[in-house]
């Protein structure tokens, strides 16, 4: 019965607009899927905000295979979607090939630079935000040892780690930073068990604040940190709510903002190199009711000063990816 009504409803309601020309944006999530509690989910949040505010439907696809990258791009472009937003560096190669074929379509790629006239390349100054949360970690730490757990060992994650270590050292030159990567394959983005093990290992080395920049693996880090009664720091989205009173803060990478901005700009989206940093609100640290008690006035003042200094250019945080070295941390 319900099936029947559903069937009728669906038949009446669905107008599958394959090929219909509509200047509505489209979103392509990487293989991780849109509910990864991190990067892709942040993009989804931006998309949702856009949809709710404008009432526009957004085409989305979660990829199943590598070959679908190009297919999804082309099919959306053919269908007239504009702009087309995609998450993840893995689209870099494909987009560079596809973009020239669709000069009238705008593309936005997050976390990667593709140098084409109709592409907006959104990159984040994760090192700046990591610097800020590093400072907070050093201030909150009683042992003088803080931890960092990365996902897959790629330059991007080293950039996080390096910024974090610089922030720690800026507050306490004697503090030590224990840094681990979960793995060397994409599986490292989604291995909460390993995350939990690494957390325990770091605790045994004295760490009492641990920063997780590891996608789904971070869920295990935050959980174990809460279980063991030490502080943790979330990443990408605001993860403070996951363990109220146990998560010191979250390094916010406003992928949602980047997606929202691109979509709201629509077909008129400006292309080119788009750096999201502390200065333009693309990078921040999270403050809310869940961590208000953990962050002292003194701490917040110090961090906000640093934030202002970075925004104004007074303080420059070293970017690991600029020269593959890090002054504050050995890999």
Chain positions contacting another protein, by CB under 8 A? 3, 6-7, 9-11, 14, 16-18, 31, 33, 59, 61-62, 64-68, 70-72, 74-76, 89-90, 93, 98, 101, 152-156, 184-186, 321, 324
Q: What is the DSSP letter of 318?
A: P
Q: How far is the CB of 14 from another protein (least distance, A)?
A: 5
Q: Which is nearer to another protein, 16 or 298 (CB)?
A: 16
Q: Which is nearer to another protein, 7 or 331 (CB)?
A: 7
Q: How far is the CB of 22 from another protein (least distance, A)?
A: 12
Q: Which is nearer to another protein, 144 or 183 (CB)?
A: 183
For residues 124 and 282, is the Cβ–Cβ distance under 8 A? Answer: yes
In whole angstroms, what is the distance from residue 109 CA to residue 83 CA?
10
Neighbouring-strand partners of residue 252: 236, 284
Q: How far is the CB of 275 from another protein (least distance, A)?
A: 18
Q: How far is the CB of 62 from another protein (least distance, A)?
A: 5
For residues 93 and 71, is the Cβ–Cβ distance under 8 A? Answer: no
What's the Cα-to-Cα distance from 240 to each of 146, 211, 249, rounded to whole Å? 18, 12, 6
Q: Which of 215, 70, 210 is nearest to 149 (CA)?
A: 210
Q: Which is nearer to another protein, 42 or 156 (CB)?
A: 156
In whole angstroms, what is the distance from residue 15 CA to residue 61 CA?
17
In whole angstroms, what is the distance from residue 41 CA to residue 287 CA?
20
Q: Which is nearer to another protein, 73 or 210 (CB)?
A: 73
Q: How far is the CB of 284 from another protein (least distance, A)?
A: 24
Q: Which is nearer to another protein, 93 or 316 (CB)?
A: 93
Q: How far is the CB of 240 from another protein (least distance, A)?
A: 28
Strand, helix or coil at 117?
coil
For residues 112 and 99, is the Cβ–Cβ distance under 8 A? Answer: no
Q: Which is nearer to another protein, 65 or 204 (CB)?
A: 65
In whole angstroms, what is the distance from residue 47 CA to residue 207 CA?
37
- Integer-rounded Cα radius of gyration of the chain: 21
Q: How many CB atoms are located within 10 Å of the residue 89 CB?
A: 17
Q: How far is the CB of 252 from another protein (least distance, A)?
A: 21
Q: How far is the CB of 1 from another protein (least distance, A)?
A: 12
Q: Is the Cα dihedral 280, 219, 318, 273 positive or negative?
A: negative
In whole angstroms, what is the distance from residue 210 CA to residue 39 CA?
19
Q: Which is nearer to another protein, 74 or 200 (CB)?
A: 74
In whole angstroms, what is the distance from residue 235 CA to residue 221 CA?
11
């Amino acid at each position: 019965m319900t099936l029947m009504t559903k069937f009728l409803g669906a038949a009446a309601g669905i107008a599958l607009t394959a090929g219909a020309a509509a200047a509505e944006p489209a979103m392509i999530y990487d293989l991780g899927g849109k509910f990864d509690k991190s990067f892709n989910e942040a993009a989804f949040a931006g998309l949702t905000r856009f949809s709710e505010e404008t009432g526009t439907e957004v085409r989305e696809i979660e990829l199943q295979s590598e070959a679908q990258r190009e297919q999804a791009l082309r099919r959306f472009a053919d269908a007239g979607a504009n702009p087309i937003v995609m998450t993840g560096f893995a689209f870099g190669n494909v987009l560079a090939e596809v973009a020239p074929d669709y000069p009238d379509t705008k593309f936005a790629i997050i976390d990667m630079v593709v140098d084409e006239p109709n592409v907006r390349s959104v990159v984040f100054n994760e090192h700046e935000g990591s610097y800020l949360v590093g400072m907070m970690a050093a201030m909150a730490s009683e042992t003088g040892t803080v931890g960092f757990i990365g996902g897959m060992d790629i330059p991007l994650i080293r950039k996080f780690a390096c910024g974090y270590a610089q922030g720690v050292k800026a507050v306490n030159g004697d503090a030590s930073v224990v840094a681990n990567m979960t793995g060397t394959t994409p599986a490292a983005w989604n291995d909460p068990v390993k995350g939990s093990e690494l957390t325990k290992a770091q605790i045994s080395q004295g760490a009492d604040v641990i920063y997780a920049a590891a996608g789904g693996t971070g869920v295990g880090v935050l959980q174990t940190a809460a279980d063991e009664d030490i502080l943790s720091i979330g990443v990408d989205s605001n993860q403070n709510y996951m363990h109220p009173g146990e998560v010191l803060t979250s390094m916010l990478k406003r992928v949602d903002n980047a997606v929202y901005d691109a979509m709201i700009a629509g077909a008129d989206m400006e292309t080119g190199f788009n750096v999201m940093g502390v200065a333009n609100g693309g990078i921040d640290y999270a403050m809310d009711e869940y961590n208000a008690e953990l962050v002292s006035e003194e701490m917040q003042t110090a961090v906000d000063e640093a934030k202002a200094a970075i925004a104004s250019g007074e303080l420059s945080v070293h970017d690991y990816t600029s020269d593959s070295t890090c002054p504050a941390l050995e890999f």
